[in-house]
Amino acid sequence: MSILNPPTVHREFFGLPGSLAITLGLPTVITLFALITNEYYSVQGLSLDFNAIIAQIPSNTKEWIELCFDFSCWAAYLTWFTVLVLLDYILPGKKLKGIELRDKSQLEYRINGKLMAGLLIILLLSRLFVSNSYYLPELQFIYDNQLKLTLVTTIFSFLLAVFVYVCSFIPLTTPNKTGTKERILSINGNSGNIFYDWFIGRELNPRIGSWDIKLFCELRPGMLLWFLINLSCMHNQYHRLNKITDSLLLVNFLQAFYVFDGVLNEEGVLSMMDITTDGFGFMLSFGDLAWLPWSYSLQARYLALPENSLELGYIKVALILALSFTGYYIFHSSNKQKSDFRMGKLDHLNLKSIKTKTGSKLLCDGWWGMSQHTNYFGDWLIGWSWCLPTGFQTLLTYFYVIYFGVLLVHRQMRDEAKCRLKYGKQWEEYEELVPYKIVPYVY
């Protein structure tokens, strides 16, 4: 048995049945979203007329194949992905070290999100100014091909997960710090069950040369596609109705802010559970590349349908903005407080903390004294500000806050299990001092 890679003892997400349900269920959900918000398939708004939705589902294999393997959609997506990979390789950026791995090594990450985001914006703006009446065919292409692109990204994420799973068995070309050519596997993805390990991610940090697949997928193709999908909705509305409603503009603004905040502060991601603990398998590949862009853009896609266009007025816009920035303030300052504290930047403030057996400290003051994950609460409030601009016509556009609430509670439980194991008695002490999990005085 490998000392470097202990076998997985606990299977997450309810093991095999849970991972199978997620693998089949979530792609079905985003396909349904594409059917519902695709005006060319003649569903009236989000009236959730299930008969009408079912009537659009191709009834034979030939139609499915045409939808799943449309040449122009595959060409567009592969170009998008490849250009982003090349930029990630080429663009300069500062180099940061990740956390110490089990073989005592630390991976190096190139942080060039600012340049990448800047390039995309400059490209879009210059295209807009030289365009004929602000018409960008690439944005219209995205809007017109939501269903096919949803399927393309899903299949691509499936194939990428197969690729990294297979690669995880290939020995390294140069020995690691323990002197063997073993790859470092995820603590969760070494169960020996092919399907489960493929789903959860077998290798912790799959790389091709210095290109880190997990960090790239976390912040680039899916996040930036989400931004483009939202823009495509605004673009379509402008050319259909000759105006842009304040509700759609607001959703675009708030979500673009979130996307660019993530891309611009990418070093923060290096300490997130996804990078430090989770392997890269179907769950992250699909989550980053398909689920995120096609489910997080639901509000914009709803508002872009002509029958759902909605004007909110100044007061509602101001209230939603206030909610969003309150959430954003909590989210950002709590994450920053923890990261500054861990880097020793707040030592002069003498904040209350618990010294653990591993040498690191658990902060029990400030945001981290109010609840164990005040940052999650702030993130959830931001989610509300994306849903409220859609009004109260359908529960479907509130899908995000319901799903995200469940995700955050599940994430908190996973993190709690990890910390309990890692810190033992000191974690119990922390729980006594800070009893609330996410929302102070509520949960």
Return residues touching ligand NDP (CB under 6 A): 272-273, 331, 335, 338, 360, 362-363, 368, 373, 375-376, 379, 411, 415, 418-419, 422
Residue 243 or 422 having the CB closest to ligand NDP: 422
Please tell me the number of Cα atoms within 13 Å of 256 on its side-chain side: 17
Tokens of 345: 């930047």
- 213, 231 contact by CB (below 8 A): no
- 331, 375 contact by CB (below 8 A): yes
Residue 33 or 331 having the CB closest to ligand NDP: 331
Residue 182 or 415 having the CB closest to ligand NDP: 415
308 by Cβ neighbours in 10 Å (0-12 / 13-18 / 19+) ranks as buried
- 202, 286 contact by CB (below 8 A): no
Instruction: Write down the residue that tokens 């800047």 correspond to.
Output: 118
Instruction: State the Cα–Cα distance between residues 443 and 435, nearest whole angstrom.
Output: 9
Residue 141 or 403 having the CB closest to ligand NDP: 403
Q: How far is the CB of 415 from ligand NDP (least distance, A)?
A: 5
Instruction: State the Cα–Cα distance between residues 236 and 240, nearest whole angstrom.
Output: 6
Q: How far is the CB of 282 from ligand NDP (least distance, A)?
A: 17
Q: How far is the CB of 184 from ligand NDP (least distance, A)?
A: 17
b/e for 86-117, b at 16 or more Cβ within 10 A? Answer: eebeeeeeeeeebeebbbeeebebbbbbbebb
Residue 106 or 360 having the CB closest to ligand NDP: 360
Q: How far is the CB of 12 from ligand NDP (least distance, A)?
A: 14
Q: How far is the CB of 296 from ligand NDP (least distance, A)?
A: 8
CA torsion through residues 97, 330, 323, 36, sign? positive
Residue 35 or 254 having the CB closest to ligand NDP: 254
- 385, 323 contact by CB (below 8 A): yes
Residue 5 or 335 having the CB closest to ligand NDP: 335
Q: How far is the CB of 348 from ligand NDP (least distance, A)?
A: 17
- 111, 267 contact by CB (below 8 A): yes
Q: How far is the CB of 211 from ligand NDP (least distance, A)?
A: 23
